[in-house]
A and B are shown apart, each in its own frame.
Chain A
């Protein structure tokens, strides 16, 4: 049984993600941020439900559409916002930007610009856990439906199963790889079948049901510790286009609107009211608190300096490379 406080926390976190993404979209639309970004509006429950089910000691590798996953993990929104604004106070000093939000020291292995690449890396992280005998620790690797068409997916599945690693593969199935729907990209769009040849158990769930996601990943966490990897397909939808240049020509307004009716935050709010864990007034308050937190983050980012140009070549290598051994 999930406690009400936890549901409220997850609800608040989903709003924090939504407000973050809306604000980023606003600045991108005005051309005030350099670069591109992939917004996860509509997919918040997959990030929050999955990552809240983990323990503090666990590792997470995010997707290409990873802002929400980083926020769900607990990454500071000030430094994330500053990163996307390209500032020195950003998580990666402005060198990574939207696609490379990472905090490896804190166990967030980051998002990745190369689709599928995160899966072998997650295998290695889980292998290290096994080698270091971290017995109650897992790796959660999130990736999109599109990435499951990469060879990396299949190689990672095979290695993870062979080595029986504590690894949860979460496929955030938003039905599209950029403009190509899974019906057009997959000979068989049933993603759960893709792990079966490797002897990996799989399950397909409603990715917009925060409780269902949380419970499934909680169970999977226990399962992978003793049995090796598992695949969870979390079915969801991105309300926005793939990136800022996307005019949504490949989807109908009706399709997008039908998914907006299944908005994960709205659904979580209805649940909180139904179980009397919060009042209408509380829900409004949670939303405005999140908006205020994000306003502060934007202020922090705007007021932050850009990295000093003389530091541009720092961080290519660790330590002194040319050494007098």
Chain B
């Protein structure tokens, strides 16, 4: 099958949607001639013109709010926030407006907006350009939160997100943009709220998402030589969470390792752990639940320092071995 990078898959999803639906448009900083900070929308200006690839000033509060207002009038905006860290300056619009408008107005309208946000560390961009803020938003009812790990998932889930009538936060790990994978040329959707077992195994359930999926898969490969079998569950959607897939997997393996790049304290891992301890899977646990996450420090710039804050394959392997003792 044809291969695309993760970034190209995202561009293809947006392009297919914009070709078939005049109400879909892209909005954000430097998304035109520049192609977006990470080059995802390169060439889209030429195909769709400046009204549908609408460049904005550095004004996240303004243009995310504008996206929400246009969605209220039944447009389907895709808004790119250059770095997920910058979503803090439009936090009100995401949390108080997009997420709440439907409920507090009695369910008579919806806000079909997709907010795409590159996230994650590994680029030496330091504390304000490297965060994984998804858990800041999972505590907000009314938001759908997606974090795809592969080009195939990115295309199918982004199309589903654009078709969905609710506000969707779409986290794209910036180190994945260049990653290649098989992507069908045709239009297809993937279900929101459904995890995907990326590798089956019998000893430890690894619940993870985004770039960490690949580190976990690679750790699984290595651990197999020691006779430790990991089942890698790629959550894909954090809200709503596919609890059933996690619970069934833990019932099978009896152990749970949670891996995410976000900081440990208050991270989404706590929610995953609670999902298991609140369910019948608790009685199947053979060891305490383990979390392998970023340290609770701001992401440092220096390569050596940054590496030591983030979860690595080695740390994942060590955590897994610990669980088997």
A residues neighboring B (CB under 8 Å): 59, 90-93, 95-96, 100, 102-105, 109-110, 112-114, 117, 119-129, 131-132, 151-152, 155-156, 158-159, 162, 314-319, 321-325
Contacts and interface: CB of A to CB of B under 8 A. Distances in A.
Contact of A100 (B61, B69, B104, B240): B104
Contacts of B165: 318-319
A213 B61 CA distance: 30
Given A125-B73, A159-B62, A117 B103 contact: no
Nearest to B73: A128
B69 A123 contact: yes
A103 B107 contact: no
A104 B194 contact: no
Interface stretch (B89-97, B206-214, B291-299): B89-97
Given A96-B104, A319-B165, A152 B190 contact: no
Interface in B39-67: 51, 56-57, 59, 61-67
Contacts of B191: 322-325
Interface size class of B (residues with CB under 8 A): 35 or more
A109 B72 contact: yes
7 contacts: A93-B106, A105-B109, A109-B69, A124-B71, A131-B25, A152-B65, A316-B103
Contacts of B96: 113-114, 117
B106 A155 contact: no
A238 B57 CA distance: 37
A321 B68 CA distance: 19
Contact of B62 (A120, A319, A324): A120
Given A103-B108, A321-B144, A158 B57 contact: yes
A162 B189 CA distance: 36
Nearest to B239: A321
Contacts of A323: 160, 191-193
Interface of B: 23, 25, 51, 56-57, 59, 61-75, 77, 92-93, 96-97, 101-110, 112, 141-142, 144, 156, 160, 164-166, 189-194, 240, 242
A17 B57 CA distance: 40
Contact of A121 (B66, B190, B242): B66
Contacts of A110: 101, 105
Given A131-B75, A322-B192, A322-B194, A162 B64 contact: no
A158 B109 CA distance: 28
Nearest to B65: A120
Contacts of A159: 56-57, 59, 62-63, 66
A117 B65 contact: yes
A307 to B, nearest CB: 9
B62 A152 contact: yes
A132 B68 CA distance: 16
Given A128-B70, A317-B142, A319-B165, A123 B65 contact: yes
Q: Return the 10 tightest CB-CB contacts between A and B, nearest first.
A: A124-B69, A120-B65, A315-B107, A155-B62, A92-B106, A322-B193, A128-B73, A124-B66, A318-B110, A121-B69
Contact of B93 (A95, A102, A117, A319): A117
Indicate the member of A125, A132, A155, A156 with the most B CB atoms within 10 Å.
A155
A315 B103 contact: yes
A103 to B, nearest CB: 7
Nearest to A97: B104
B67 A152 contact: no
A316 B105 contact: no
A319 B192 CA distance: 12
A283 B25 CA distance: 52
A93 B102 CA distance: 12
A159 B292 CA distance: 43
Nearest to A83: B106
A312 to B, nearest CB: 10
Contact of B51 (A93, A129, A131, A151): A131
B229 to A, nearest CB: 29
Contacts of B63: 120, 155, 159
